[in-house]
Amino acid sequence: MSCQHLVCAQCAHPVIEGRCAVCRANRERLHGHGLAGLSPALIAIVLLVALFATLALEHLLGV
C-alpha cells in the first residue's frame, strides 16, 4: 500500500507530505522505515554510543 494518494483526515493534505503528526505517523507506518521499528537516527545514535564505549574500554585497558 502507498500513501501517495491518501488524504489526512486531520489536516486535509496528502499524507505523503507529512504536514502534521498524524500524517507523519501513518507515512512511517505504511513505509516501514527503520530496523525493527526503530528510526534510522536512533540506530545511528546507538551505534555511536557503542563505538565510544568500545574506544573508552580500550583506552582504560591499554589494549
Q: 21 and 40, same structural domain?
A: no
The total of structural domains in the chain comes to 2
Q: 22 and 1, same structural domain?
A: yes
Q: 61 and 39, same structural domain?
A: yes
Q: 1 and 20, same structural domain?
A: yes
CA-nearest of 40, 39, 43, 3 to 22 is 3
**45-57 confidence digits (pLDDT tens):** 999 999 999 999 9
Instruction: Please tell me the pTM assigned to this model.
Output: 0.45
Q: 2 and 25, same structural domain?
A: yes
**7-20 confidence digits (pLDDT tens):** 888 888 888 888 89
Q: 27 and 2, same structural domain?
A: yes
Domain that holds residue 18: 1-32
Helix (H, G, I), strand (E, B) or coil at 13: coil
Q: 48 and 28, same structural domain?
A: no
